[in-house]
Structure 1
């Protein structure tokens, strides 16, 4: 029993967050990308030195594949999330089953991290799941919570998950393949910043620019997540969720070819 505990303590705990823009396309679930993500997580898990937590967006987008509603209305978005969350989990469960891996759903809100009792309870559940080789899949519980209790985007949720669940690294997989010195969609000479150790306040105050109809984030929310973790000495790696080559290089081969690593100096 002691030996097992020592092995567990040596494992590196990684939170992987995948965005709505990656998981949906043309009002459909991007099942091939979801499948590729599960492949990556399964390979990491098979390394026997990693514990994996997945923070997954996409519930609203998944719900919209079954029912089209006006997404500018909060209640409609909540209804779509209610439809889409079990659909999303069905696909995750099916693909993880191919690897003989069990997964579990955890729905959290910001208030869960403000209450010592609720945070401690969530931490206990998390440790039980991880110690039994289950992949926790976390999303924001936006079906019944009001705006005051929500993070509003899963980048912030993922950062809190990484901190409160004692992760060694947060990986954000998005339609943005890294952080550039200027918008690469507008400037051909934009250069990726491979390592970022400081984020200016002005960068955190920029207007959000989500690129998906269902997304609630953008580069600003990722910078806020990175800043939250930098201040707590937890690194964050941001890379493409469309092409996982750089994620494989960084996570499996310890080779930082592309993507941005946010870390404290």
Structure 2
């Protein structure tokens, strides 16, 4: 069975400092359908946003953010569990840092743990462990984390669900004539240096972090699909039926694979 990593960001999962329960349920419903065709791993944001609903500390300060994340992890996972229980899907939580990908032993360990979960029909839910780690040990955004997870477990595709329809030739918020790319084979170097401003107070990425994730996947000879997490029907059509109506597929040309 093909492997699929789905990454969902805070902009999709949260609304007004709380978990957007209906959106989360829509995501869970989609994953339940995808499991008939794929082994699915979910990389999720939302712990800080969930924690802020219970603990109003300054999230711009390192300790404040860590304390909020610590309070938010069980809230986030409880929310997921309640919704996955509707579909009789068992879940497991895996917290990783950048260091877990720099050590062969540690990488092999979480690879085997994820393999064990998938072979026993358990859905691994991955997040960055920013509670006990130092800034040097963190990716800083879950786009990079999801790309590294996808490569490490040899996933066939990484799907990033965000608050945008895909990758445009220019900023669609500033240019009405902006056109979306359906397929991208190579990321322009200048695009990886552009300023990036998340559209959500709890988001840590933006389009540039997604392009960096796509660039990483392309260089590894793997695929990534960037789509709108508010319009999941388009992602469902693409993943289950191969109908590509909305979203951008990043796919390396064979001669570009390294």
- State if a TM-score over 0.5 links the two structures: yes
Alignment of 1:141 onto 2:129: yes
User: Stretches of 4+ moved more than 3 A in 1?
Assistant: none
Alignment of 1:227 onto 2:215: yes
Aligned-partner Cα distance in 2 for 1:224–1:15: 16
Q: Residue 104 of structure 1 is aligned with which of 71, 84, 92?
A: 92
RMSD of the TM alignment (CA)?
Answer: 0.7
The runs of 5 or more residues in structure 1 that have no matched partner are 1-10
Most deviating of 147-156 and 246-255: 246-255
Aligned-partner Cα distance in 1 for 2:196–2:131: 23
User: SS state of the match for residue 243, structure 2?
Assistant: coil
Alignment of 1:261 onto 2:242: no
| Counterpart residue number, 1:43 | 33
Alignment of 1:53 onto 2:41: yes
Q: Residue 227 of structure 2 is aligned with which of 203, 217, 239?
A: 239
Aligned-partner Cα distance in 1 for 2:96–2:10: 17
Mapping of residues 72-151 of structure 1, within 5 Å: 72-151=60-139
Alignment of 1:248 onto 2:236: yes
User: SS state of the match for residue 238, structure 1?
Assistant: strand
User: SS state of the match for residue 245, structure 2?
Assistant: coil
Aligned-partner Cα distance in 2 for 1:249–1:22: 19
Aligned-partner Cα distance in 2 for 1:252–1:190: 28
| Counterpart residue number, 1:7 | none
Aligned-partner Cα distance in 2 for 1:78–1:165: 28
Deviation at 1:93, TM superposition (A): 0.8
User: SS state of the match for residue 192, structure 1?
Assistant: coil
Aligned-partner Cα distance in 2 for 1:145–1:252: 38
Aligned residues: 253
User: SS state of the match for residue 214, structure 2?
Assistant: helix
Aligned-partner Cα distance in 1 for 2:168–2:195: 16
Alignment of 1:12 onto 2:16: no
TM-score, with normalisation over the residues of structure 1? 0.94
User: SS state of the match for residue 154, structure 2?
Assistant: coil
Aligned-partner Cα distance in 2 for 1:30–1:51: 25
Give CA-to-partner distance per residue, 1:194-237, whole Å, 9 cap, x none.
10101111111112211110111000000000000001111000
Deviation at 1:41, TM superposition (A): 0.3
The runs of 5 or more residues in structure 2 that have no matched partner are 254-258
Aligned-partner Cα distance in 2 for 1:74–1:174: 25
Aligned-partner Cα distance in 2 for 1:70–1:214: 12
Q: Residue 21 of structure 1 is aligned with which of 11, 16, 28?
A: 11
Alignment of 1:202 onto 2:190: yes
Deviation at 1:122, TM superposition (A): 0.7
Give CA-to-partner distance per residue, 1:116-164, whole Å, 9 cap, x none.
0000111111110000000000000001111100000000000000000
Aligned-partner Cα distance in 2 for 1:145–1:205: 27
Aligned-partner Cα distance in 1 for 2:211–2:244: 19
